[in-house]
Chains A and B, each alone.
Chain A
């Protein structure tokens, strides 16, 4: 086993351990932090694969954005120090069955798909300029239409926010 592989297993155990803790933690705040560990692990995996841009975006969006939002909403809504009681065992059984079914489905898909090596392994670098060009061009392998669709979605979300937040003056 090479040192690279050891690093991979360390990162993978971080992701899986974080995910496992996130669903088993009895305190909601600790669950959020476990989720954070898992998401940082995914970013680390991207760095390990030399996809720095995706890794940084993963860190900014998921860790710096979404987890902070989750923690804030936990602070504001729940009693975060409260220990959640054990769920009913029948529910636990159903949850296990559901998880196992999902895992089996994904695993069978992965098993059937034969992964082909497209690059030359670890020795490639991902230029940010290429990402930008792919995002804003119209040829094959480019993403202008999805980009615009996402911007439309964000616009709709912004309009929705303003509608919720606006003060309607009543006489």
Chain B
């Protein structure tokens, strides 16, 4: 199989074996944890810069503007300049705030979203922790992010922050349901929660092509629910500028604000990577049934390229949403979830289970 050309398992195995020959078991684990942590932090910093640049360019192009174009080639240096500005800014803690909680909140938000990166397969064998409940783990970790937002909102001692945090919490908790049901529908089809098995189940075609209309419906609902979970426009009631100044991070400045910003973009990446893995085959190249020649040609494109291509495609769609649609009202937001997305995804899950039992998918 040509897939093995770009298999990263040997690389990670070599590193593991090298450590194992010199150190004891537990210390190997600890060392690997530290290395993985450093890699994740680097990855997160680079990724957030790329995403922020992309977001500004996409926004500009959709609004008939040019976007950042002064610092560096095509404005690429703008992000670096912004980061430098945020690092140098003073981090102000308001007088009436609960100091400990106020300073803790950004770390909670950022660390939870970095934890969610662990089981994501970036390429063939390029995964930090391929645990057997991968998708459930990601769901559980993303539900932790709410806590950080609630801490931030409460400890700022500001009614806008508080209202923003409450709205954000309610929104994330309710949209998690339909996102979860869409995830389960793919778990039903692939028969596993392990990310590597979900990817392997798409060797002969991605689920969005194999699964007929129900999977397409699940994909659309997942994208909508993911946008809502991210608190991005059109679901940005939690930080509605015109009503709440900036929502839960109103009082934050400098690096602490940057951490919230970073967390927002990493969360976006995690959810889009989830969508890409579940519905578009993760790092799996485009395979069509038994066309071996075609499949072999596709295998020559390295698997991380496939993964990042798909993920950035979905990120682009979510950005497209943001710069097209106006903000929802609270009642419309709740209507959409409880009257439309949740019932539809429930019926859809039943349809997918039926399809799976009768073997109607390819």
Distance in Å from the Cβ of A32 to the closest Cβ of chain B? 9
Let me know if A68 and B169 touch, CB within 8 A: yes
Set B24, B101, B131, B176: member contacting A29, Cβ < 8 A: B101
Report the stretch among A59-67, A99-107, A140-148, A154-162 that lies at the interface.
A59-67
Q: Do A52 and B169 touch across chains, with their CB atoms under 8 A apart?
A: no
Q: Once the chains bind, are A64 and B101 in contact (CB under 8 Å)?
A: no
Q: List 14 A-B contacts (CB under 8 A).
A: A2-B26, A3-B25, A30-B101, A33-B151, A56-B136, A64-B146, A67-B147, A68-B169, A68-B173, A72-B169, A75-B154, A81-B98, A126-B132, A129-B192
**B79 within 8 Å of A by Cβ?**
no
In this assembly, does B350 line the interface, its C-beta being within 8 Å of a C-beta of chain A?
no
Q: In this assembly, does A114 line the interface, its C-beta being within 8 Å of a C-beta of chain B?
A: no
Chain B residue numbers with a CB within 8 Å of A4 are 25-26, 29
* Bound CA–CA A72/B98 (angstroms): 18
Q: Please name all residues of chain A whose beta carbon is closer than 8 Å to the beta carbon of B201 when the two chains form the complex.
A: none
Is B144 among interface residues, defined by CB-CB distance under 8 A? yes
Q: Are the CB atoms of B133 and A68 closer together than 8 Å?
A: no
CA distance A129 to B197 in the complex (A): 13
CB distance from A40 to the nearest CB of B (A): 8
| CA gap between A68 and B173 in the complex, in Å | 9
Quick check: is B141 within 8 A (CB to CB) of the other chain?
yes
A52 touches which one: B27, B100, B133, B176 (CB < 8 A)?
A: B133
Beyond A3-B29, A128-B132, A128-B193, 9 extra complex contacts between A and B, CB < 8 Å: A3-B30, A4-B29, A6-B26, A30-B98, A52-B132, A56-B140, A64-B144, A64-B146, A75-B162
Binding site for B on A (CB under 8 A): 2-7, 27, 29-30, 33, 36, 40, 52-53, 56-57, 59-60, 63-65, 67-68, 71-72, 75, 80-81, 125-129
Structural contact, B147 and A68, CB atoms closer than 8 A: yes
How distant is the Cα of A48 from the Cα of B107 in the complex, in angstroms? 23
Contacts of B100 in A (CB 8 A): 30
Instruction: Give A2 to B100 CA distance when docked, in angstroms.
Output: 33
Residues of A within 8 A of B169 (CB): 68, 71-72
Of chain A, the residue at the smallest CB distance from B150 is: A71
Say yes or no: A2 contacts B25, CB within 8 Å. Answer: yes
Is B209 interfacial (CB 8 A cutoff)?
Answer: no
In the bound complex, do residue A36 and residue B133 qualify as a contact, i.e. CB atoms below 8 Å apart? no
| Minimum CB–CB distance for B111 against chain A, Å | 11
| CB-based contact A53/B133 at 8 Å | yes
| Chain A residues whose C-beta falls within 8 Å of the C-beta of B30 in the assembled complex | 3, 7
Is A60 within 8 A of B101, CB to CB?
no
**How far does the alpha carbon of A53 sit from the alpha carbon of B100 in the complex, in Å?**
33
Q: Knowing A2-B24, A63-B143, A68-B150 touch, does A56 contact B137 (C-beta < 8 A)?
A: yes
Chain B residue numbers with a CB within 8 Å of A65 are 143
The CA of A127 and the CA of B192, in the complex, are separated in Å by 9
Number of A-B residue pairs with CB-CB distance less than 8 Å in the complex they form: 93
Name the A residues within 8 Å of B173 (CB-CB): 64, 68
> Are the C-beta atoms of B26 and A3 separated by less than 8 Å?
yes
- Docked CA distance A33–B107 (Å): 14
B136 nearest CB across to chain A (Å)? 5
CB distance from B20 to the nearest CB of A (A): 13
B191 proximity list for chain A (CB < 8 A): 129
Known: A3-B24, A3-B26. A59 touches B98 (CB 8 A): no
Q: Which residues of B contact A36 (CB under 8 A)?
A: 147
Least CB distance, A67 to chain B, in whole angstroms: 7
B263 within 8 A of A: no
Smallest beta-carbon distance B201→chain A, Å? 14
The answer to the question of B253 belonging to the interface, with a C-beta cut-off of 8 Å to chain A, is no
Within 8 A of A (CB), among B107-160: 131-133, 136-137, 139-141, 143-144, 146-147, 150-151, 154-155, 157
Residue of B nearest to A40 (CB): B144
Given A27-B98, A63-B144; A72-B166 close (CB under 8 Å): yes
CA distance A40 to B191 in the complex (A): 28
Closest beta carbon of chain A to B329's beta carbon, Å: 21
B97 (CB) vs chain A CBs: closest residue = A81
User: What A residues does B192 contact at CB under 8 A?
Assistant: 128-129
Nearest residue, chain B, Cβ from A27: B98
Given A59-B141, A59-B144, A64-B143, A29:B132 Cβ within 8 A: no
Shortest C-beta distance, A161 to chain B (Å), equals 13
Q: Given the complex of chains A and B, what is the CA–CA distance between A137 and B25 in angstroms?
A: 38
Residue of A nearest to B135 (CB): A56
With most chain B CB atoms within 10 A of its CB, the pick from A2, A33, A72, A75 is: A33
Which residues of chain A are near B98, meaning CB under 8 Å?
A: 27, 29-30, 81
How near does chain B come to A58, taking the closest CB pair, in angstroms?
Answer: 8
Determine the distance from Cα of A29 to Cα of B105 in the docked complex, in whole angstroms: 13
Complex: how many Å from CA A7 to CA B25?
A: 13
Report yes or no: B154 in contact with A80, Cβ–Cβ below 8 A. yes
B137 touches A52 (CB 8 A): yes
Give Cα A4 to B141, complex, Å. 23
Q: Give CA–CA (A71, B144) in the complex, Å.
A: 13
